[in-house]
Each structure stands twice: as structure tokens, then as C-alpha cells.
Structure 1
């Protein structure tokens, strides 16, 4: 053990591009998988909170198998770390409950866009953690990403009083998801990604099942296909790759990468619901891609240093 501070060692590990060269690709693939979430929730055949429960519960055996394959032992961490994971699970469970209910009360485009409020909040948290204002390139990337989201909203989403309740629930979900990402990003410095996700999924499922029962929701579906797809796509693949990337990719890049989800959801709507993609949709998607390229090409000079 060297005399180097633990926080500095963490930053050094994050910048080891040779060891973690696949983290950025994992981040993008994870967002592709997560973009299918709203579509699968609508076809789950159970209540919205129950869908969140099954998403986590059905994922557990698959995550356990992945942990065995990757040789990431499932061990009980120290008490303080368990508490942090439990808090992350609480915010994630609350996020899923709010978002899944919101998905059923508003348009698919609205649900995805408002739910990704966490993209900007998590990026802002990363800049605050680094104790640094965004560089000119970072500021341009954030502005382009925001403009891209705005164009997607004009093209795919629809603001109206009829959707207000669903929009507010999805925005609340985005706020809750930000806290989940923060706690996961911090715990990733001490725990491997798959064991962390197993514990978070276990805690989250235990929180959502009583909520669904109290709400009188349908718990057992007539067809399990959509629920297994939701568990595999959103929890095992999507969250698995995202949690892995959070250990190696700065929050600013993670935040902008998550903004690819609205564009992917718009494409999913085009493929499955015959929803037309306007020129504004394509332009918005292109601006988000350009923003991601900009922030990726020029990394911040100062990286976030996590407190010891």
C-alpha cells in the first residue's frame, strides 16, 4: 500500500484507459438497452410498480450467473457500504415507481425526455464535484445536448394539461434517478459492478413489492415475455453496463450519453408504433450525438476526485 491518498488512487484508476477502454462502449450499449424500458413497461401486463418489482426480481438469477462467470464474488460488504447501497436502491425503487406510473399517463416521448432530467443533473453534479466550471467545449456540448432534447420534444413529445400529471411524475423520476446514480458512482469505488447491482436489485425489489400490493395492482401477468425482456434488457444489460461504466467514465460524459435514450425511444416508436420521425427529430438526435462526440474528444483537464 503506497502513501498516495485513496481519492487520488481512485482517479488514477479511472484514467487507466488501457485497462478500461471498453467502458465508453459499455455506456453506449447500456443506454441502447435502457431505451426499450418504456415500451416494455407498457406491454408488461401488470401494474406499473409491479413491473418495477419484476424487473429487479427476475434479473437476480441472471445477475448471480453473470457474477459467477466474471468471478465477482457475492459477499456481504461492510455496514456503511450496505447502507449506501440500500439508499441507492431506495432512490432507484422510487424512481421506477414514479416513472412507470408516469409512462402510463403521458406520451412515450414525454416519459423518456422528462425521465432523462437526470442526465443534466448528474453532469452538473460531476462538474461540482470536480470544483470546476465547464470548459468551453463542455459548455458547447451541454448546450447542443439541451437543444437536441428540445427539438426532440417539439417533434415527438406533446405538452398539454392532459399529460401534466404524467410529465411531473417522470420529471420526479429523473430527480430520484440522479440520487441513485450518485450513490452508485460512489459505491463503485469499493465494490465490483455485478455484486453491487445484485444487492441494489434485491433491496429495490423488497421495497417495490409491498408498494404494489398496497396499491392493489395486478402482480401476476398472463404472459411473462415482456417482463423477462424488461428484466434482461433494462436491469441485467442496461443497468449492468451502466454501473460498470460509472466506475470508469466521468459523470459529464455519462450524463450526455444518457440523452441518447430519447432519440432511441423515438426510433423505437417509429419501428413499433409507426410514429413519424420529423426533420426536427433527426436534427435533435444528431445534435445529441455531436455533443457526445465533443465531450468525448476533449476530456476535462481536472477529473472528479471522490472524497475519502
Structure 2
């Protein structure tokens, strides 16, 4: 459902470009740091990102087919995914923690006393990340239920714009010149999408909720950018998922009196698809593939997600899109790609 390509944790793997025409092969073979099979090995991560984008594009369809409220679908998405993240964290993280404790015992207790306040602060940030993620999911699911799938996903992908705005407030990196150049294009795209909804193909109110969700997701980006200095993507997803489940369950118990559940087996299948395919499979595969694919390439590939959602919305849900949707989609995607994609540095 989301495009995590602009998460600051993703680090491009920049390599020097060959300088000569006929000497390319010789220079590549002369450099022992560049594996000869690297180009061929990149095919699988690229295909993995395409699959991840397709799985995340299925998310809005699962939300619509679940037959429950927006907050209930978001809750079950997190609730069903949480045990998988817990098991994975036990398998992958605990052995590393054990080795870290052994090293700490060898160096003495001073390091433990110095690390305690920092650990407490990081735990608070993990909870904040979970709260922001819960708000993002709830508003995004609300938007999916009110407006067209295409509008909900496209407007939710405006999260990088909010990251730039947070940079103006000193909460993130200050926006670059590319941000200001892409901002008018993104705003034009949003206006086109709002106009498409005003023509009867969607809901202006639902579009507004999608932008609110993008704001929360942008704030989530800012928080996890700091968390990624000391935590893995799996730890962040675990905390975010568990906190989301707790927050949304509390919200439904207070305001609805119960936790919404599907009445048909098809609804449970849709929620399982939302949790296992979209939340775990899609976003998990992105984290894995971004270890091999640079940020620029990955960001372009993941732009397949909103187009996948729009296509499925037309085929499965029978949504009719007008030319304003197409114009708005082009503007939003061009702006997001231009703002988030960092060109590789040309190394001398």
C-alpha cells in the first residue's frame, strides 16, 4: 500500500562508472571490487521489487473485499502480521543480542550504564513510530473506502512532500532544490485528482483523508530515519505492527464497543491476504531487495504500485477513471520520482 522507497534507511550502492568506450571490459576486470556477475545478480532484486510493488498494490483491494470497517481492517492487518514478525525477531535478533551481551561483559559495566538512557529514548521513538503508523493505516484505509483506489494510493504517495515540509521545521533534513522544483507538479496532480473526485468518480473527503494519511506516513519516515541508526528494519516493523494493533484495538473498544470481524469466510481471506501478502510479503521484500538495489532504481520500480492498484480497482471493483485521474496520476508520480530519487554521484 505504501511506497517505502523514500525511507532514508535505504542506502544507495554507488560504484564508479567506466570512463572509456573500448576499455570498459578491461577496466571492469582490473577492478577486483566489482564482481563480474554483478549485473546478472541484479536481475533477481529488481524482479523482487516488481513483485513487492504488485503485492502492495493488492492492499486496497483486500481492504475493500474484507467487509469490515477501515479501523478493523487496519487492526487485523497488524494483528495477523505481528506473530510472524515476533517469530522472525526471535530467530534473527536474539542471537545477535546474546553476542552483544558477551562483548559487553568483556568490556565491563561502564558501557551498559552509558547505553541505558539512549536505549530508553530509542524505545520511546519506537512507540512514537507505532502511533504514527497506526494513524497512517487508519486514515489510508478510510480513504480507500471513500474514494477511488487510484486516488487513495496516489495521494498517499505524497508522503515525501511532508518529509520536506518537516525539514523546514528542523525535524528532518532540509529540502533540496529538487523538492521545490517538484512541489508545484505534485500540487497540480493533487488538484487534478480532487477535480476527478468532484466529477462523481470518488470522494473529495476521501481524497483529503488520503493526504492526512500521507502526512502521518511522512512523519513516520522522519522517526524511523533516526531509529535505523540503531535498529534493524525488522525491529521497527515489529514495534510498529504491535503498537498499531494495540492502538486500533483500544480505539474500537472505546468508540465502537467491540472489534469488528468479518462475517464471511471471504472477508477473512481478504484480511489474511492484506496481512501476509501486502504487509509482510510486500514490505518485507522491499527491505530485502533494497540491500542489493540502489535507491534511485528502487524508487522508480516501486512506482508500479499505484498503477497496479488503479488497474485492479478498475478490473476487480469496476471503478471508472476519467482523464483527470490520468493527468493527476502522471503529475503525482513524476513529482514523487523527481523529489525522492537521488541521482548517483559520479565518482572520479
Instruction: Give me the TM-score of the superposition, normalised by structure 2.
Output: 0.64
Alignment partner of 1:265 is 2:287: no
Residues 293 and 202 (structure 1 numbering): CA distance in 2 closer, same or farther, change over 3 Å? closer
Contact preservation (8 Å) 1:149, 1:259? no
Contact preservation (8 Å) 1:101, 1:166? yes
Q: Which residue of 2 aligns with 1:3?
A: none
Alignment partner of 1:82 is 2:120: no
**Unpaired segments ≥5 residues, structure 2:** 1-7, 16-37, 98-117
Q: Alignment partner for residue 94 of structure 2, among 70, 73, 86? A: 73
Looking at structure 2, the residues matched to 104 and 43 of structure 1 have their Cα atoms a distance apart, in angstroms, of 10
Residues 294 and 83 (structure 1 numbering): CA distance in 2 closer, same or farther, change over 3 Å? closer
* Structure whose alpha-carbon radius of gyration is higher: 2
User: Which SS does the other structure have where 1:78 is aligned?
Assistant: helix
Residues 118 and 288 (structure 1 numbering): CA distance in 2 closer, same or farther, change over 3 Å? closer
Contact preservation (8 Å) 2:148, 2:202? no
Residues 93 and 243 (structure 1 numbering): CA distance in 2 closer, same or farther, change over 3 Å? farther
Alignment partner of 1:133 is 2:173: no
- Residues 1-308 of structure 1 mapped to structure 2, 5 A cutoff: 14-17=11-14, 29-67=51-89, 71-73=92-94, 78-122=119-163, 129-131=172-174, 133-135=176-178, 163-216=203-256, 219-222=260-263, 223=265, 224-242=268-286, 260-275=304-319, 299=343
Contact preservation (8 Å) 1:46, 1:218? no
User: Which SS does the other structure have where 1:14 is aligned?
Assistant: coil
**Unpaired segments ≥5 residues, structure 1:** 1-10, 303-308
Instruction: Give me the TM-score of the superposition, normalised by structure 1.
Output: 0.71
How far apart are residue 123 of structure 1 and its match? Answer: 5.6
The CA RMSD over aligned residues, in Å, is: 4.5
Contact preservation (8 Å) 1:96, 1:173? yes
How far apart are residue 194 of structure 1 and its match? Answer: 1.1
Looking at structure 2, the residues matched to 29 and 141 of structure 1 have their Cα atoms a distance apart, in angstroms, of 28
How many residue pairs are counted as aligned between the two chains? 287
Contact preservation (8 Å) 1:27, 1:242? yes
The Cα offsets for residues 128-170 of structure 1, whole Å up to 9 and x where unpaired, read as 85546335xx777777777677777777x55569823322222
